[in-house]
Structure 1
Amino acid sequence: MKRLLLSTTLITTLFSISTFAQETNTQALVTAAQKEGAVYSVGMPDSWANWKGTWADMSSHYGIKHQDTDMSSAQEIAKFAAEKNNATADIGDVGFAFARVAVQKGVTQPYKPTTWESIPDWAKDKDGHWALAYTGTISFISNNNLVKNPPKSWSDLLKGDYKVTVGDVGVAAQANNAVLAAAYAMGGNEANLKPAIDFFGKLAKQGRLSFTDPSVANLEKGEIEVAIMWDFNALNYRDQIDRSRFTVSIPQDGSVISGYTTIINKFAKHPNAAKLTREYIFSDKGQINLAEGYARPIRSDVTLPADIQAKLLPNSEYANVHPIKDFNAWQKSASQLPRQWQENVLINQQ
């Protein structure tokens, strides 16, 4: 009994020491960031994933000023590499597939937030160069005025009598990931997209494949019956137009889950402010900010307020989603997709 009490006391003491060290390190980071006074981001505009809320908190909590220049993931990495010691950006937000590219190009520096252990292993770099803050999963959005039975699976989609919008396959990441999601559901993977190509070929033969841009304007005008798109876009568009007019669902026979990660510029002039930004993004409040912008937080141990949770789909919808595991295979398949799509899908379009 005495030994047990000693063990319990030791564990409690070690935990207290660890917590104290974390708090001390975090406070040191805050102090260093406040001395820098500002953080300059790329690809993190106010309107995307409610970054507006994060920047407002960084200002009100820490007095950190902020400015963003919006650009694509590839442009962000190129900017970090080109400017080097004359860096004008401290932090960026890039798609999952670009995280490894940034590390390979040597333009990132690591930082693990204090909530690091709450981030799934598949969604973070072991050295802390990147970690997904929020996810996107390929979903269906259906116009309830035009579609009597909104699809819940790829199988439902094939049996329907409505047109299906997939976007610009071979060009748009959202459309390419729609193909990968279908492949997962039908026994394929990153290296084998044939099941998905065959599936979309059947839709084309039925005259049911549409290439109308799945924009909020086209959805509102009723020009789209069913579209395949990221859940955060679908949910956002649904609520912008009229929540009752649309059904959003994750295909229950399989989908792909991806996401976005911050990368901290190796050459940042405000590195501590950038690290503090990442720290805040992965805090409970930072994760809630993202959810308010329809971006599903990566940390599952954060309790979302009821009104924000109501904006998102329930966790049960995500039981059969798959992260990309073989990035080399996916990169190769994606490069071949435009030709495969042309030869096996578009040729069948009625």
Structure 2
Amino acid sequence: MLKRNLVVAAAAVFAVTSLAGCSSKKATATSDSWSTIEKQAKKEGKVASVGMPDTWANWIGTWSDIKSKYSIAHTDTDMSSAQELQKFKQAKSSDSPDIGDIGLNVAPTAVEQNLVTPYKTKYWKEIPSWAKDKKGYYSAGYSGSIVFITDTKNVKAADAPKSWADLAKGDYKVSIGDVASAAQAQYSVLAASYANGGSENDLKPGLDYFAKLGAKKRLSTVEPNIQNMQKGELKVAVMWDFNALNYAHHIDSKRFKITVPTDGTVTSGYTEIINKNAAHPYAAKLARNFILSDQGQINLAKGYARPIRSSVKLPADVEKKLIPQSEYKKVFHVKSNEVWNKATVKLGQQWQDKVLGSK
């Protein structure tokens, strides 16, 4: 699935800024009242998304609820983050997608390219500062954290790594994915950097860490996706917790051991951006608001994603789907999505030079 390979080279793709034209149908920034949004959204009767397929983070639950509650039909075209921004940029008003779901590290590119419109929703004050743009151009709907997942058919459960230090001492191969293009892989480098004293401003500790694994021929070239996991081609993989939980659930939860690195993980979010030239701008705002509502947040949790609003009370059966919060011992949040956005553009080449070049 394209969504699972969130391409974050968008800043490189859009290195030269070009402004998207304004649609005559677009809603004003954040001045619309909720009654106006609801009334106009129902009149539009449709919302078109990109990168928000039914099977990702249980989006189907949200789209079904919106259709039932507001009589708004939904369509989606699955694509990567970079492709979403390209679609926002190129599509004409009549067929422009209304809303998309991209990693926070890509969001500054969307703002720089003037592709999105701001809307803070009813829940703005409950969104953590690290997860939103001050002007409302983006705010995360859910979060994920980097974890390890061990296939106990290939590695003894007792040897499953509980920390980056453990991972470094193992004798199994580690799958991380394509650092040049996948957000999950790039956040994995950031997590390793953080655990070893770095940050989005200093990725050298993470690159050095993986270079040592590469020198020992411990980096696997097998993509950490559900198909390869099912075939038993992975030993230990580094990925988002919601992907790990989802994959394990669909294959065999008892077969996989998921651990949160005790010496440092990164928590980041995914934001639902509204196209500046949306064909159905009010339906897009309504959808973004619903995603952040209690029911919308519960829907995401059913798909193993952690709600961005910590005040939402999850039903007991849904809460059990998630890793207990107590297991996240040491968590890092990117302090500047703008700095991280620029760092990811260079990371693919740095990985090639410093990590793969060491093999």
Work out the CA distance in 1 between the residues paired with 2:130 and 2:292: 16
| Residue of structure 1 in register with 2:39 after alignment | 31
| Residue of structure 2 in register with 1:119 after alignment | 127
- Secondary structure in 1 matching 2:141: strand
Native 8 Å contact 2:108 2:341 kept in 1: no
When the two structures are aligned, how many residues end up with a matched partner?
Answer: 326
Q: Point out the more displaced range, 317-326 or 299-308.
A: 317-326
Query: Mapping of 1:90-101 within 5 angstroms?
Result: 90-101=98-109
Native 8 Å contact 2:58 2:303 kept in 1: yes
Find the partner of 1:289 among 283, 299, 311.
299
| Residue of structure 2 in register with 1:171 after alignment | 181
| Residue of structure 1 in register with 2:112 after alignment | 104
Query: Mapping of 1:92-241 within 5 angstroms?
Result: 92-145=100-153, 146-147=155-156, 148-241=158-251
Q: Point out the more displaced range, 194-203 or 47-56.
A: 194-203
- Secondary structure in 1 matching 2:105: helix
Find the partner of 2:313 among 299, 303, 319.
303
Shift in Å, 1:332: 4.2
Work out the CA distance in 1 between the residues paired with 2:269 and 2:323: 16
Work out the CA distance in 2 between the residues paired with 1:109 and 1:332: 22
One-letter amino acid matched to 2:75: Q
Name the Cα RMSD after superposition. Answer: 1.9
Work out the CA distance in 2 between the residues paired with 1:103 and 1:342: 29
TM-score, normalised by the number of residues in structure 1: 0.87
After superposition, the Cα gap between the structure-2 partners of 1:59 and 1:211, relative to the gap in structure 1 and judged at 3 Å, is: same
Are 2:77 and 1:69 equivalent residues in the alignment? Answer: yes
Q: Of Structure 1 and Structure 2, which has the larger fraction of its residues in helix? A: 1
1:117-146 deviations in Å (ceiling 9; x for gaps): 111111112222211001121110012232
Shift in Å, 1:205: 2.9
- Secondary structure in 1 matching 2:227: helix
| Residue of structure 2 in register with 1:334 after alignment | 344
In the alignment, structure 2 segments of 5+ residues that lack a partner are 1-31
After superposition, the Cα gap between the structure-2 partners of 1:92 and 1:342, relative to the gap in structure 1 and judged at 3 Å, is: closer
TM-score, normalised by the number of residues in structure 2: 0.85
| Identity level (%) | 54
One-letter amino acid matched to 2:195: A
In the alignment, structure 1 segments of 5+ residues that lack a partner are 1-23
| Residue of structure 2 in register with 1:54 after alignment | 62
After superposition, the Cα gap between the structure-2 partners of 1:208 and 1:336, relative to the gap in structure 1 and judged at 3 Å, is: same
- Secondary structure in 2 matching 1:111: coil
Q: Point out the more displaced range, 232-241 or 139-148.
A: 139-148
Shift in Å, 1:173: 2.1
Q: Point out the more displaced range, 238-247 or 121-130.
A: 121-130
Native 8 Å contact 1:80 1:87 kept in 2: no
Shift in Å, 1:172: 2.2
Native 8 Å contact 1:134 1:297 kept in 2: yes
- Report the structure number with the largest CA radius of gyration: 1
